[in-house]
Each structure stands twice: as structure tokens, then as C-alpha cells.
Structure 1
Amino acid sequence: MKKALAILLAALTASSLLMTGCGEKDEGNKDGEKKFRVVMICSALGDKSYYDIAYEGLKKAETDLGVEIKVAEIGTDKAKMEPAIQDVADAGYDVIFFGSSEYIPIIEKHMDEYKESKFVGFDIEPTTEIKMSNMFCITYLQNQVDFLAGALAQKMSKSHTIGFLGGSEDTIINDFLIGFIEGSQLVAPNGKVATSYIGSWTDAAKGKEMALVQIKQLGADLLHPCAMGAGLGVIEACRDNDLWAIGVDADQRQFFIDTKKDIADTILTSAMKRGDMVVYKVIKDTLAGTQTYGHLEKWGLKEEAVGLAKNDYYKEHTPQEVQTYIDGLEKKLVSGEQKVSTMYGMSQDEFVKIRESVKP
């Protein structure tokens, strides 16, 4: 009898453990349904710009929409990209975000294996052909926002030599640059734009070194880094020389206001690519069943996916007449009255000619 009772109790205990395990696997809500799960694959958080601002969108979705979020940080080793995609797809995430066109052929390679997950790419080259019905991609019109940044930089410059520092020389960075140059030329036809490529997205020391060359040797008095973590060194160089910097991707001032006020106070504004808005909107629309997949869209000023950070600090330190000018220019870009060139479709020879024409 005692033996039979012990067997019964053991069976009940095992059953209880199994039920608990199922509940944990489902990350259960009140109805016992599995939570909607979202993951972003990135090199690393902490850049205070590109991936950090996208992460803000994930956190907002977690708070507002009740989704489960995760960030898969894989570093800069490209060999880790395919295993990362396979890991998160095998784990059954509902939406998988990635921020580079390099992921697309990897995902397509496994398209027949991962039909249940949705794949969302942001900052994807506009000529990309989307072959998967469960993939949606966004191209940011960064040339539009950097047109505004270039115009603002020349309005605020005393030397009329301004600086641009890219993480690497690629099409997206040069698309920023072509807008920056054209905005500069609209305000100061004879103004100069110093250009440097850091050759890294993480080496802040090298970013600072190259920024100091632009400041000390070329006379640039306002710098605009488009280099993720490496750009932090550029901002430090501006701080050390009492010059303005225009940040990138996120409202970078907000990332530093509580921890490094001296850095925050160096950033007049930022040319934002609103990864937070994009990520949140796609999650919300996917949950609502209104997000369509299988294509690429171009989002710019009109969609509020890019724009200058017109925070209180910008308003305090930018003369009203300059703010009015920039606001008017933005309206013209949205309406199509003001055009801006893009690196996409432009020959390298033509681009180099434009870049060299404004060289200090």
C-alpha cells in the first residue's frame, strides 16, 4: 500500500513539473497563449546611435504591446551572421530584425526552412529585390536628412569649412555624404566639406584622430560623424576644441545627457534615422495584421523615418532665423520642390568629382 502511494505521489509530482515546464516555455500570459516574440540581430549595442535607437523601438514594443524581445549581439565577425540567423529562426521568433543588406542572401539561402518567421531588414539598399513573401525591407532616405544637416552646418559655421567622417566608404555612407555636400552648397556655394573615412565602426580613438586632422589642419569648425561607435571619438574632438558636432542615427544628445553632459552639450542636433519608430511600427502593424511583406519601401522625411533632432537644446542654440530656414527647406524636400541627389545610381566617377570639388 505504502509503495503504491509513493508511486502515485511520484507520478503526480512529475505531472506537475511537466505542466510548469510547458508554462515556462510558452512564457504564458493570462490566457496561456504563447507570447509574440521579436529579436534583433546586431553587431553590438552601446554605439549610442544606429542599433541603440532601434533597441529603443524594441523596448517600447515590449512595454506597450506586451511582446517578448531579445537582442542577439554577434560582434563584427561576418562568419557569425549565418549561424545567428539559423539560431533565432530555429528558436521560432515571430519577427527577426536585421540592419544590413548582407543578411539577405543568407536568409534567402534558408528560405524554405524558415517560412513561419517574418524577416524585417532596415537600412537596406533600395535596389534590393525581395524574393521572399515573409520578408519586408526599408530603405532610409538618409540623403534627405543629411541635406538638412549640411545646410545647417554651413549656417552655423564661421569658417565655411565643415567636416564629414564616415565609418567606411560604402554606398550608404556616401549617400549621406552627397546630401551633406548638396545642403552645404545650397547655403554656401563656395563652402568646403572635408571628408574622411575612419575605416571602422568601433574605433573611437581613430575617429578622434581623424577629426583632429580636419579641425587642426583643414580648418573645419563643425563635424558630422556617420560612423556608429567610432563617431564618438569625433564628438570628443569637437568637445575638446569647443566646436559643434551633428550626431547621427539617434538623437545622440539624449544618450549622453545623464552620463556625459560635456559630450551631450557638444551635439547641436543629430541627423536621425528613426530605427525606433520603424521597429515599433512594423511590430505593431504585424500584430494587427496590417503589415504587408514581400517588398521593399523607401521611407524619408515624409514618413518621419528620418529627420533632424529638433530638441530643446537645438532650439536654444540655433538662431531663430536659421531654424526657420531649415524648417522651410524641410517642407520643400517633403513636397518635392527641393531635390537632392542620391548615391544610388550615381557613377563613382561622378561622385568623386562632386566630393573633390568641395575639398578644402
Structure 2
Amino acid sequence: MKKIVTLILVFVLALSVFGCTQPAGQPEATPTPPPAAPSTPSAPPDISQTPGEGEYKQYPDFKVAALLSGVITDNGWSANMYNAVMNLADKYGVTADYVESVTVSDMEEYLRGFAGDGYGLVIAHGSQFIDVVNAVAGDYPDTLFAISFAATDVSQHDNVACIAPVNQGILEGIAAGALTKTNKVAMLGSEENPSISGDINVFESGVRLVNADAEVITGYIGSATDADKGKEMAMTLISSGVDVITHQANAAGLGVLQAAEEAGILAVGINTDQYSVAPDAVVTSVLRNFPAIYEALLPDIAEGKLTGGLYRFGIKEQGCVFSDWHGWDAKLPAEIKLIQDTVQGIIDGTIAEP
């Protein structure tokens, strides 16, 4: 039985090959053709500025539900959205619920249940839920359904918002390219889907911003939950000379980080600060900034001002950011400065965001 918690304050190696080329594109297909989508995304709010202490407007009658594909203890994708929901409850006084381990086949029941109970915001946390959200949303016009992560406007209704903190893979690439000494870096994804493949595909672009010569290897574990497989595949890559590794693999990625620590190489975490998983390896983590994004959007959502469509937050808009360096900036000052200067260049426009 899935766990629902109410917060009043809020190898058989599964992949066929490792590749230096981009993985194949995703299958198309929605049950019915969507209406014409806007050619440009809605302007995202500025998430770098937040109200001061005591300045948050309270919405005690507003209810939020986050439907998670994983568990809140994954120290990654689902934990990140759990933190975002807790933040909304803490800052705005909303009632916030979450459900763990929701499958595509279960999603419709939960969407209808929460929308039917008067929830103003229901978050489907994963691109695998796009079709079912569009199938349900038209029946509940008073609820805003948010899909995270959807990097293109896949909404078929005015009450479906695509929330997209994009280019996490570029930041992972910048870090890996700056930190490597052997000029051989790698990223492992979980399974091929739009959320994962999008970042796998741009990883090399990030590396090239700081390192023209590094060999870039990518591959898929074939699971989002099997940390042992992630560790085994990472060890294979490390034995080939990779000295910086990162992942897009949810809980399976924890095995990647553990392999890095055991082998004495460097690693980059994702989604939440994963330093504690492997403190001798994880230099930093690239966070999808969902807590700040939903914090910025919540007032307009609660007041019925936010319409559907695409809300895209690139590096320039700080949709993805680096975590704390945990002392690595003192150990590797030149490398960390290169990373920071490159990101600042993207933010101020002197470096083009790939």
C-alpha cells in the first residue's frame, strides 16, 4: 500500500553498449493530437529573489499534492520534490500531500482523487506522466496540473503547466570537464526517457565549454533503482581510465557515486546535495531548483493567475544550480574557479548557453 503523508507545514549490463554518441530519440505519440502550442515558453519568474522572513503571503486554504515516481529517501529526484513541497508548506502555510512510488498505471486514480478533493495544485513528478495528465486535466478546470520534468510544451489544456529546469547535464559536463586529469569523463543514465536522455545528450556540450580534448562516455544502466548495477557499470568505466563520473540515474546513481569513492576518483551528484553519499568523491551536486521554482510560482497558482504552458528555467534563470562545495573549493581552487566563472558567464550572457 502506498504511503500518503499529510504535511501541514508543507552485470548483466542492462545496456547494450557504452556510447560516445547520443542515444536514439524518444518515441512520439500522444493519444490525440494536441492543439497548437505556443512557439515560445512563458516568461519564467525571477527565482533568484525571494521574500524576506515574515513576508510570505499565507494560503492556509490552498492544497498541494506531489505524486512521486520514487521514494522520498532516494536522495535525488523524488527527495527533491518532497523538499519543494515541504518548502511550500513551510513558507506559505499550504496543506501539502505526497504519494510515493506512483506508476503510470496508478497515476489517473491519484490525479482524479486529489483534483476531486479540491486540490489547487497537483504535481506529476516525471515526464512519463504526460499522457495521463493530459487525459485527466480537462475534467478538473479548477486544478492546475504541473508536469515536472517536461522540457517542451506538451500541454493540451490551459490548466496543464510544464515545469522545466533544464540543462542540468550541461552543468554536470562543465564540472566534469574542469575536474578531470585523465581527460576521460562519463555520465550514466538510468533508462531512456525524455527526462534522462535530454541531459545525457547535452553532457558533452557542457564538457566542451571548459575542455576541448576530453573523451566523453555516456551509457544507460537500464534501471532507476538498482544501485548495484549502477556501481558495477561505473567500476567498468573507471577501470578504463575515467576519473570523473556523474549520473542521471535516480537511486541507481547512488551506486555510481559509491563506486567513485571506492576507486578514489571524483564524482558529481544530482538533484539533491549527494555529498553525504560519498564525501571523498562528490565534489558538488547539480540541483534541479524545484524548491525555488515552485516557491516563486505558488502565489500566482494559488490566486488563479498562472495559466498552462511551458515554464522553462535554464542555467541563466538558475533552474539548475550547484550545491555547496563542502571544502573542495579549497582543495581544488583553480578547477572550482573555472566552473564558477563559466557558469557566471552563462548567467551574465558572455558565454552562450548550449
TM-score normalised according to structure 2 size: 0.77
Q: Quote the residue 1:121 is aligned against.
A: 147
Structure 1 residues 285 and 129, CA gap change in structure 2 (3 angstroms): same
The question of 1:235 aligning with 2:257 is answered yes
Letter of the 1:241 partner, please give it: A
Q: Quote the residue 1:136 is aligned against.
A: 161
Structure 1 residues 170 and 290, CA gap change in structure 2 (3 angstroms): same
Structure 1 residues 333 and 34, CA gap change in structure 2 (3 angstroms): closer
Q: Quote the residue 2:33 is aligned against.
A: none
Q: Quote the residue 1:7 is aligned against.
A: none
Please tell me whether the aligned partners of residues 54 and 279 of structure 1 are also in contact (alpha carbons under 8 angstroms). no
Q: Quote the residue 1:106 is aligned against.
A: 132
User: In the alignment, which of 155, 172, 190 is matched to residue 213 of structure 2?
Assistant: 190
User: In the alignment, which of 243, 263, 266 is matched to residue 221 of structure 1?
Assistant: 243
Please tell me whether the aligned partners of residues 198 and 210 of structure 1 are also in contact (alpha carbons under 8 angstroms). yes
Identity of aligned residues (%): 25
User: In the alignment, which of 296, 302, 312 is matched to residue 310 of structure 2?
Assistant: 296
Structure 1 residues 41 and 184, CA gap change in structure 2 (3 angstroms): same
Please tell me whether the aligned partners of residues 69 and 126 of structure 2 are also in contact (alpha carbons under 8 angstroms). no
Please tell me whether the aligned partners of residues 58 and 280 of structure 1 are also in contact (alpha carbons under 8 angstroms). no
Give the drift of 1:34. 7.0
More helix by share: 1
Please tell me whether the aligned partners of residues 120 and 142 of structure 2 are also in contact (alpha carbons under 8 angstroms). yes
Q: Quote the residue 1:179 is aligned against.
A: 202
Letter of the 1:252 partner, please give it: Q
Structure 1 residues 290 and 78, CA gap change in structure 2 (3 angstroms): closer
Moved over 4 A (4+): none
Structure 1 residues 304-343: Cα deviation after superposition (integer angstroms, max 9, x where no partner): 2112224443423331x223322221132224443354xx
Q: SS in structure 1 opposite 2:146?
A: strand
User: In the alignment, which of 158, 168, 180 is matched to residue 181 of structure 2?
Assistant: 158
Q: Quote the residue 2:81 is aligned against.
A: 54
User: In the alignment, which of 300, 312, 316 is matched to residue 330 of structure 2?
Assistant: 316
Structure 1 residues 54-96: Cα deviation after superposition (integer angstroms, max 9, x where no partner): 2112112212211111111234x42112222122222221210
Give the drift of 1:275. 1.6
Gaps of at least 5 residues in structure 2 are 1-7, 9-58
User: In the alignment, which of 115, 118, 125 is matched to residue 89 of structure 1?
Assistant: 115
Structure 1 residues 264 and 93, CA gap change in structure 2 (3 angstroms): farther
Q: SS in structure 2 opposite 1:102?
A: helix
Q: SS in structure 1 opposite 2:236?
A: helix
Distance 1:232 1:159 in 2: 23
Structure 1 residues 113 and 177, CA gap change in structure 2 (3 angstroms): closer
Distance 2:204 2:60 in 1: 50
Letter of the 1:90 partner, please give it: G
Please tell me whether the aligned partners of residues 128 and 193 of structure 2 are also in contact (alpha carbons under 8 angstroms). no
Q: Which structure's CA Rg is the greater one?
A: 1
User: In the alignment, which of 339, 346, 352 is matched to residue 326 of structure 1?
Assistant: 339
The alignment yields a C-alpha RMSD, in angstroms, of: 2.3
Distance 1:63 1:138 in 2: 21
Which stretch shows the higher mean deviation, 327-336 or 39-48?
A: 327-336
Which stretch shows the higher mean deviation, 34-43 or 328-337?
A: 328-337
Q: Where does 1:220-299 land on structure 2 (aligned, <5 Å)?
A: 220-253=242-275, 256=276, 263-287=278-302, 289=303, 291-299=305-313
Q: What is the number of residues matched between the two proteins?
A: 296
Structure 1 residues 166 and 90, CA gap change in structure 2 (3 angstroms): same
Distance 1:174 1:294 in 2: 24
Structure 1 residues 304 and 183, CA gap change in structure 2 (3 angstroms): closer
Please tell me whether the aligned partners of residues 196 and 210 of structure 1 are also in contact (alpha carbons under 8 angstroms). no
Please tell me whether the aligned partners of residues 37 and 68 of structure 1 are also in contact (alpha carbons under 8 angstroms). yes
Structure 1 residues 95-134: Cα deviation after superposition (integer angstroms, max 9, x where no partner): 10112233233233233421221211221031x3423222
Letter of the 1:270 partner, please give it: S
Letter of the 2:332 partner, please give it: T
TM-score normalised according to structure 1 size: 0.75
